Chains A and B, each alone.
Chain A
Amino acid sequence: MSADDESVVRIEALHHRYDATVALDGVSLLIRPGSTVGLIGPDSVGKSTLLGLIAGVKRIQSGAVLVLGGDMASRLHRDAVAPRIAYMPQGLGRNLYPMLSIVENIDFFGRLYGQPESERRRRIARLLTATGLDPFPDRPAGKLSGGMKQKLGLCCALVHDPDLLILDEPTTGVDPLSRRQFWELIARIRTERSGMTLLVATAYMEEAERFEHIVAIDEGRIIADDETAAILARTNANTLEEAYIALQRPERRGDQTALVIPHLTHSDAPAAIVADNLTMRFGDFTAVDHVSFRIQRGEIFGFLGSNGCGKTTTMKMLTGLLPASEGRGELLGKPVDARDIATRMRVGYMSQSFSLYDEISVRANLKLHGQLFRIPAEELDARVKAALARFELTSVADALPPTLPLGMRQRLQLAAACLHRPEVLILDEPTSGVDPAARDRFWRLLVEMSRRDGVTIFISTHFMNEAERCDRLSLMHAGRVLAIGAPDELRLSRGGRSLEDAFISYLEEAAAPPAAHTTSAASASTDEAARRTSGVPKSEPSPERPRQHRPLTASLQRIWAFARREAVELSRDRIRLAFALLGPLLLLVAFGYGISFDIEGLRYAVIDRDQSLESRLFLEQFSDSRYFAQRSPLANEFDIDGRLRSGELRFAIDIPPGFGRDLLQGRQPQISFWLDGGNTFPAETARAYIQGAVLTYAADRHRRLFGRDSRLLPINVEPRFRYNQDFRSVFAITPGTIMLLLVLFPAMLTALGVVREKEMGSITNVYASPATVGEYLIGKQLPYIVIGFVSFISLVVLAATLLGVVPKGSMLALSIAALIYVFAATAFGLLVSAFVSTQVAAIFGTAILTAMTAAHYSGFLFPASTLEGPGRVMGLSFPALWFQTVSLGVFAKGLEASALIREIAVLLGFGILFLLLARLSVRKQGV
């Protein structure tokens, strides 16, 4: 296969399956350079899979995919062509970083592709002007409307001048105006960069008509692959939609009869939904501004408007999810009240994003809904079964929702919302991402429910053909209602060409200068478009292409791009940053004072059955010592057990009758001491203290009797307590606390890194970019190493100033060891993150593994030299133990750097090992 094979993409006998589900069933395809190809077909026929495989973000299972002259199964080739491919996955803003601003998002992608600063700035400026995003370069991506997100996604894809642009349903969930602007933008880019090949999957058939070439897919196979005109001619169809249906196997075709909506009979019943000057403010931003309307029972009321104009917020206020800042809402004749359970039983709601449970099956989700809506148990199975059939989910009843394509998930949500036969349905963009045939079936259901069962339907949509089916429509923009009326009325009021034109005309009028609000950046006017054309990024025969950096420089640049992005995200999340830096200090103080083995005031009580002078003299040894604290005397010997059992006493002293007499006669009388053996450390300590007290008593007595010091003991035992003469816990605990905190916090900071990106979807950027997993991991790690080291310095300063624990040995050795230790800890967090599949498991795993190992097996509370069994192995195979030797050595023992070289080397080894293992657990492709 040479590069000049007249094909950009060449696919042969491609098969792909997810467990038992076949996604692609023998696909062969050839795409010529510079062509524009539209990939059409309903949901779950393999469109996304095919695009993912071409982009190299999915692993090829069987068959051949050759892209830009090489085999995509080869990692070398994928890395080589990655800079020439741009891939925008399905879902609004899936590949964006919500915390970063518009400019920062594009800048990040520019850096990934190694563009120098000046070039990036130039390109960003051009792209922003071309897409009309230039008025708000600093707005965070997470706060953009759907249309703007998709434009930004396009900017990010185009920043590196790809030869092959792959867009997976880029306009799904985007309002008509933004959609129109989006395609105009693509068209302009096409004229400027005619060499670029464009591959787009879409569920909007009317959009696909603008592509010169169409590939139609059904059931994992290609059912047509030809010029658009040729397909239309061959099937004798006017529209692609008709053509597609004609191409399908007859049993795959839906109901072909046109949908007729019976006239709504006017009723005098009170309105089902009333909004009366509803207003919602978030801070000083007014999301919904005095919205009023009334919806009749049984009416289908449509809600149209640009993304982010307040439709969702209005719906949430009417369901009671959000309390209105002002105004009033009524549902079924009652004021909206979040606590009104009875009304909720009569309402079905479907939110815009998927909000059912990912971890339980389709069937289980429906069952749970039924149970919560109090469907009688004996009816439940039948109802669930009927719903599965009605919404065509029977074949996937036992699958988990995340394994289903978007359209099917939407159907599942609908099935759930309708399961309890509600009187009112509030549906927030229910058909976003659902293919035309399925939408058609869905509308048949809606009409049936409305007209036959009298269900009131309040629905928001971006599809004009759906809007036309509503009884009445409300046009919304920037929090305000622009117009309400039947579709025909609205159309006629604006000259009557089509509803879409009327809608756009309303929007343009409302968004007229200063055009700085939401999506409608007032760009559809032709003048403006013309002005902007000049700004489209030309496929400048860029002198810097191919950018041949030395590989090392390019690699460092990419690491820096990841590190920078992570750092910016962290700096935006002030709360997290504060926890990361202040948490360790707080704990150091708590442990400095709190963890103490300095035992004083052992509680004891006495039963003195002798009551002699001698016994009282003996007991003074205890009552006069600060190590003991006397409690009220014991009544009898049975009292001993009870008071020890209740935990009131640590030990009891029992002096037998005749003690004084026996003592004087030199008969060595016995005294019984009873310890509470439950908590062993205080018990051991008490034993040692008691023995000491007895010896002191003996020496004192000797002195009293004979007037000279006895040589009571034939040998003097002289303990020399080294390193910690005062024997204070704080000197021993503080170095260990620093050891514990410096592994726990840094590991926890990185532990969510990879798994969170997996859950959010932005990891696809790494798959699609020329960056390696190693670069990605190191880049993600760097900011946290810095945080960890800053934390170390603040801990040392606090220990010295507040607790008076000052390093006696080499500060240099301690710092170097700390830096490497933090490196190892963050690498460990990444390893956990790479290994687990959920964020919950990542947090718990990190907490258990680091906290347990560091606290128990690393010489923190118990000397490492006494460890045995599995604990010893665990201690030795985790960095904490090694750093503890350094920390304790430098703080308490005054060790110099030369004595600690081995420990530092071992720490470094751990860091590298963890990073390597993490690298091996993250594969640079999805399935």
Chain B
Amino acid sequence: MWRWFENVFHLGLKEIASLSRDKVMVVLIIYVFTVAVYSEATAMRTDVRNAGVAIVDADHSTLSSRIKDALQPPYFRTPREIDRSEVDQLLDKGQYTFILEIPPRLEADLLANRGPSIQINVDATAVTHAAVGTAYIQEIIMRETASFSKQRGANPAVPIDPVIRALFNQNLEAIRFSASMGVINNVTILAIILVGAAVMRERERGTIEHLLVMPVRPGEILAAKIWANSLIILLAAGFSLHVVVHVALQVPIVGSVEFFLAGTAVYLFAVTSLGILLATIANSMPQFALLSIPVFVVMFLLSGSFTPFESMPTFLQDIMYVSPSTHFVRFAQSVLYRGAGVDVVWPDLAIMTALGGVFLTAALLRFRAMLLSQN
């Protein structure tokens, strides 16, 4: 048993040494966990931020300009006034997601209580922003109209006063979500490719075969790859969360980062095992490259880090339960956003471990067969 650890340890050190020789790779890893996470977090907004809005103002009244002034950063870009004839073209090119059309005599009709209408043209292909943004604009129009009317002595009647508050993230700032999800997605891609390609390369060079003539078991070779590469990814992810997410982006993290990293280690075991399994299935590096695409793209787009998991059809949800990333995303959201503890997330941790075990066993079973096909 002791020998096992020793072999795994030495082979792992070799793994780290050889990775650090590949300068481009090192630069890429640093890039994905710093610059990429930063720009992803600041650029991708599920909340309405900086939404492009334009106004066709045919009234030019006090009310219309108050509405216009109320559409403000950070939710909206300062609206531009455009001509009616430009509406279609600007929406076509996706330059604005919302265009308000304020009819002539809006203010006069309001004061006469004739119930005028404001039309909002929404580019509904922007599925993430269209509905939420429309609700914002409606709310703003209502508020401005109400305060305008109050000055003139009218009074709208909604019988109750809903108070909506958000826990864990009072202002619903999307950056908190996208920053840490960015880290998670990078972990997935890196783990699959780094480890899978490392196994593939050893296959193509014949070094794995050479190891098997020595007193080394296949399990030791794989375990070494898993720990060494996982450690590098784990350190990078920890750095990214502490420094990039917490310090640079100033995102408060509700839960314990250390607990999150412990869960990440479990996840890495599962994904690196999957990477190895892919490497034993493919026959050459180009095949591995193509095989890995659907795997990591599905893992990062369908596991709930972008779209709400429950919006997927049930059959797809069932399929995605086999992906460790689904459980990891759920684990990460619980821990990072809501400060959940082991009592809440242990099922996800258990499933990830089990999935990793299955992948690794399958990879080991394929290992000898793969060497045979190499000849």
Contacts and interface: CB of A to CB of B under 8 A. Distances in A.
B297 A349 contact: no
B160 A357 contact: no
A687 B169 CA distance: 14
B22 A680 contact: no
Interface stretch (A9-17, A35-43, A840-848): A840-848
A824 interface: no
B1 interface: no
Given A338-B368, A674-B165, A680-B46, A712 B120 contact: no
Contacts of B14: 357, 360, 364, 368
Contact of B286 (A721, A752, A835): A752
A293 interface: no
Contacts of B215: 341-342, 344-345, 372-374
Nearest to A839: B285
A647 B22 contact: no
A568 interface: no
Interface stretch (B37-45, B240-248, B263-271, B354-362): B37-45
Contact of B337 (A341, A678, A729, A861): A678
A130 interface: no
A61 interface: no
A183 interface: no
Interface string B83-122: 0000001011111110000000010001001011111111
A682 B134 CA distance: 15
B81 interface: no
B125 A893 contact: yes
A888 interface: yes
B308 to A, nearest CB: 5
B302 A590 contact: yes
A715 B117 contact: yes
A550 B146 CA distance: 80
Interface in A726-750: 727, 729, 731-733, 735, 740, 744-745, 748-749
Interface in B244-267: 254
A835 B23 CA distance: 11
A673 B293 contact: no
B110 A714 contact: yes
Contact of B302 (A595, A666, A695, A837): A595
Nearest to B281: A575
Given A680-B176, A715-B117, A888 B125 contact: yes
Given A321-B213, A684-B47, A841 B117 contact: no
Of A600, A675, A698, A719, most buried by chain B (CB within 10 Å of CB) is: A719
Nearest to B178: A680
A669 interface: yes
A438 to B, nearest CB: 22
A359 B139 CA distance: 62
Nearest to B26: A841
Interface in A313-362: 313, 316, 319-323, 338-339, 341-342, 344-345, 347, 349, 351, 353-360
A561 B31 CA distance: 38
Contacts of B158: 668, 694-695, 698, 712
Q: Which of A355, A712, A862 has the most chain B CB atoms closer than 10 A to its own CB?
A: A862
Interface string A766-803: 00000000000000000000000000000000000000
A690 B186 CA distance: 35
B19 to A, nearest CB: 8
A820 to B, nearest CB: 18
Interface stretch (A231-239, A508-516, A576-584): A576-584
A852 B33 CA distance: 12
Contact of A351 (B28, B39, B95, B209): B209
A552 interface: no
Given A712-B158, A716-B117, A722-B123, A885 B338 contact: no
Interface string A640-663: 010011110000000000000001
Given A373-B214, A647-B334, A870-B39, A575 B177 contact: no
Interface string B167-205: 111101110110000000010011001100110010001
Interface in A662-686: 663, 666, 668-685
B172 A868 contact: no
A316 B368 CA distance: 13
Nearest to A400: B21
A373 B141 CA distance: 77
Contact of A720 (B119, B310, B336, B344): B119
A719 B169 contact: no
Contact of B91 (A313, A349, A601, A722): A722
B210 interface: yes
Contacts of A356: 207, 210
Contacts of B91: 722-723, 893
A580 B293 CA distance: 10
B294 A714 contact: no
Contact of B40 (A595, A711, A852): A852
Contacts of A358: 205
B311 A839 contact: no
A598 interface: yes
Contact of B22 (A368, A838, A899): A838
B299 to A, nearest CB: 11
A724 B91 CA distance: 13
A716 B115 contact: yes
A612 interface: no
B213 A349 contact: yes
A840 B193 contact: yes
A374 B301 CA distance: 46
A116 B340 CA distance: 73
Contacts of B118: 715-718
B197 A839 contact: yes
Interface string B329-346: 010011011111000100
A139 interface: no
A714 B115 contact: yes
Interface centre among B31, B168, B296, B302, by most A CB within 10 Å? B168
B62 interface: no
A410 to B, nearest CB: 14
Contact of A681 (B17, B46, B49, B286): B46
A729 B7 CA distance: 51
Interface in B305-341: 306-308, 310-313, 316, 320, 330, 333-334, 336-340
Interface string A106-140: 00000000000000000000000000000000000
A847 B194 contact: no
Contacts of A733: 127
A355 B169 contact: no
Contacts of A663: 159-160
Contacts of B7: 371-372
A282 interface: yes
B212 interface: yes
B363 interface: no
A56 interface: no
A543 interface: no
A594 B312 contact: yes
A922 to B, nearest CB: 15
B220 to A, nearest CB: 9
A735 B3 CA distance: 55
B290 A576 contact: yes
Given A680-B47, A718-B117, A838-B25, A692 B340 contact: no
A641 B137 CA distance: 30
A732 B334 CA distance: 30
Given A579-B290, A723-B125, A845 B24 contact: yes
Given A714-B113, A723-B91, 20 more contacts: A341-B215, A351-B210, A573-B287, A668-B158, A673-B163, A674-B165, A675-B172, A676-B166, A684-B48, A694-B160, A727-B131, A735-B125, A740-B297, A837-B24, A841-B22, A841-B24, A855-B301, A861-B44, A863-B129, A893-B91
Please give me the 5 A-B residue pairs with the lowest Cβ-Cβ distance, nearest first. Answer: A871-B43, A678-B337, A677-B169, A677-B166, A359-B18
7 contacts: A357-B18, A593-B312, A594-B302, A645-B339, A680-B176, A865-B94, A893-B92
